[in-house]
Chains A and B, each alone.
Chain A
């Protein structure tokens, strides 16, 4: 440690530390590269805090266990990578439907299938949005640095509690395995679970409150006996097929996110004010993109960058605003164009992609050449 209180940390470790700082006291997981360090770190640290660490028999059970722990009132998390993330999908949908807060970390690796376990990728962008079946909400946060692995994990818990929903921290293998000196933030907002203010007889766990307020989730065992199911349910949690109740249930889980975009969406803008070219990049690729923008600027090209920190809900409105001003979007990503497709939806004059799926990072040079190409 030096004077500025900096510590050298790995991204995965910083994520685990952020979770502890947010009050996470239950972790269930199954080992998989490149996320394993998160579990290993927590296996050591959680017992010191009288928290629970358990290595489950697979990722399906890990996801089930964290939902159970959350219903019992404990902030909970799991961490995995591609194949494990696929296995979690059914129960992620359960958490969305039953509105149970929890955090899922997916450190992306090359896919599909077993793919390239040790190579980074950004191939799970769409899976993090649409991996589970049916119309459902998704909040996905995407760090680019070790510091953000920490801060965004804290934020993930806050959003999970505030909106009663699973939140995904989508890291790539580079960010997860990167080491950086960071100064651990001493103060940060921690949102704890709200308690019901009404007596048990009046409590409906899925009551739709006015002004976008969300009904607090009473922990099991505290006098509020209610039912939780993955079936479409009424305000008291019991299955229903009444058209009105079905619509209310399904729309409200999505609308609670849609109506709070200003709170949930976070972006970073870099040199965009006068830009002709906007690079849209996220995760570790945003680091190369920033260098590329700097190089282009030195060559007199007016380039800038937009970085979605909240990847889902996608910052569509920000993009639409920029689409009016810039001539071209350049979208570098370690997949075949998953965010590129979202950029196209913002109605750009022109958008091009820089893709890479060979397990190597996208270099600033690669992005610079594309910027030069479109600016000439």
Chain B
């Protein structure tokens, strides 16, 4: 593995972009580190990578990394990414979104990107809250948890992001956490190498807007919770459903082959009599 300092110099934008906006103890930086390490293990050059992000604490990742970067509007990262990928399929397109970004305001785009199976790598940083706007409940906030707009506890059933995207047709789906940094590196590398729409749900602690309000302790306590409740997916599948309490599966959950969208679009070009490049 490459030395950390080297990676920092190679991939981070040193001048003017730091200090970053994230709070002490936030998990987003760990996810960003995993993404950088995964990229370093591919053959990709920085010029070939387009990093598209939405709006939120998670969306700020695009500011700090030295790729072609695009910080879009809230929820719309995948729409911009779709245009980029279709216009230049040679580019590797990665989107980074928050849980609210991807599954609330951007939920429609997420399900359709899955359905198309377009070759975009999505990372959804799930901190179970709207971090940037001050801790309002999101579609992944667990029932009864408190948020600045759920003063008496949330009454909405949360999404299971991985199940959602699997059912919509994503061909690579994986979940990792900020505790399992090395697993996250490995998952992201596999996602990058996958042809088709991939989703990596990276569970990440937001101690400031979520943890504190729900008395979840220090950032370390929140990461410990990830450790204690995560179960590798084959093992998880063997637990009888009525015995599942707060546990959740981690690792690669879906990995299948299906024709990718741009591949299929080439058929249209052929049928129309165009020249496929």
Q: Which residues of A contact B272 (CB under 8 A)?
A: 44, 47-48
- Given the contacts A64-B73, A225-B46, A47 and B83 also touching, CB distance less than 8 Å: no
B71, A72: Cβ atoms closer than 8 Å: no
User: Which chain A residues numbered 125 to 144 have a C-beta less than 8 Å away from chain B?
Assistant: none
Query: Which listed residue, A56, A221, A231, touches B68 by the CB 8 Å rule?
Result: A221
User: Which chain B residues numbered 16 to 68 have a C-beta less than 8 Å away from chain A?
Assistant: 16-17, 46-48, 50, 52, 62-63, 66-68
Chain B, residue nearest A58 (CB): B108
Q: Could you tell me the distance between the alpha carbons of A71 and B77 in the complex, rounded to whole angstroms?
A: 13
User: Which chain B residues numbered 89 to 140 have a C-beta less than 8 Å away from chain A?
Assistant: 90-91, 108-109, 112
Chain B nearest CB from A176 CB (Å) reads 24
Per-residue interface assignment for chain B, residues 157 to 195, with 1 indicating a CB less than 8 Å from any chain A CB and 0 otherwise: 000000000000000000000000000000000000000
Query: Which listed residue, B16, B50, B73, B108, touches A91 by the CB 8 Å rule?
Result: B73
- A9 interface contact, C-beta 8 A: no
- B79 interface contact, C-beta 8 A: yes
B69, A227: Cβ atoms closer than 8 Å: yes
- Given the contacts A28-B83, A50-B274, A221 and B66 also touching, CB distance less than 8 Å: no
Q: Could you tell me the distance between the alpha carbons of A223 and B66 in the complex, rounded to whole angstroms?
A: 11
- Among B48, B88, B268, chain A packs the most CB atoms within 10 A around the CB of B88
Q: Could you tell me the distance between the alpha carbons of A54 and B271 in the complex, rounded to whole angstroms?
A: 16
Chain B, residue nearest A229 (CB): B71
Q: Could you tell me the distance between the alpha carbons of A71 and B62 in the complex, rounded to whole angstroms?
A: 15
A220, B88: Cβ atoms closer than 8 Å: yes
Q: Is the interface of A mostly helix, strand, loop or mixed?
A: mixed
Q: Which residues of B contact A54 (CB under 8 A)?
A: 82, 86
A47, B76: Cβ atoms closer than 8 Å: no
Number of residue pairs A-B, CB distance < 8 angstroms: 146
B87, A52: Cβ atoms closer than 8 Å: yes
Per-residue interface assignment for chain A, residues 314 to 344, with 1 indicating a CB less than 8 Å from any chain B CB and 0 otherwise: 0000000000000000000000000000000
Q: Which residues of A contact B81 (CB under 8 A)?
A: 68
A238, B87: Cβ atoms closer than 8 Å: no
- A74 interface contact, C-beta 8 A: yes
B72, A64: Cβ atoms closer than 8 Å: yes
Query: Which listed residue, B83, B108, B271, B273, touches A67 by the CB 8 Å rule?
Result: B83
- B70 interface contact, C-beta 8 A: yes
Q: Could you tell me the distance between the alpha carbons of A74 and B83 in the complex, rounded to whole angstroms?
A: 9
B275, A50: Cβ atoms closer than 8 Å: yes
Q: Which residues of A contact B275 (CB under 8 A)?
A: 50
Q: Which residues of A contact B271 (CB under 8 A)?
A: 47
Count of residues in B whose CB is under 8 Å from the partner chain: 44
A71, B84: Cβ atoms closer than 8 Å: yes
B71, A228: Cβ atoms closer than 8 Å: yes
Chain A nearest CB from B209 CB (Å) reads 21
- Given the contacts A50-B276, A65-B82, A221 and B71 also touching, CB distance less than 8 Å: no
Per-residue interface assignment for chain A, residues 84 to 105, with 1 indicating a CB less than 8 Å from any chain B CB and 0 otherwise: 0000001100100000000000
Q: Could you tell me the distance between the alpha carbons of A52 and B47 in the complex, rounded to whole angstroms?
A: 23
Query: Which listed residue, A72, A94, A222, touches B73 by the CB 8 Å rule?
Result: A94
B47, A227: Cβ atoms closer than 8 Å: no
Chain B nearest CB from A69 CB (Å) reads 4
Chain A nearest CB from B83 CB (Å) reads 3
Chain A nearest CB from B84 CB (Å) reads 4
User: Which chain B residues numbered 218 to 277 have a C-beta less than 8 Å away from chain A?
Assistant: 265, 268-269, 271-277
Q: Could you tell me the distance between the alpha carbons of A73 and B81 in the complex, rounded to whole angstroms?
A: 13
Query: Which listed residue, B17, B67, B76, touches A64 by the CB 8 Å rule?
Result: B76
Q: Which residues of A contact B88 (CB under 8 A)?
A: 72-74, 219-221
- A163 interface contact, C-beta 8 A: no
- A269 interface contact, C-beta 8 A: no
What are 28 inter-chain pairs, A to B, with CB distance below 8 A?
A26-B83, A26-B86, A26-B87, A28-B82, A44-B272, A50-B274, A52-B86, A56-B82, A57-B109, A57-B112, A61-B108, A65-B79, A65-B82, A65-B83, A68-B87, A71-B70, A74-B87, A91-B76, A220-B70, A221-B48, A221-B88, A225-B46, A225-B68, A228-B69, A229-B62, A229-B70, A230-B71, A239-B63
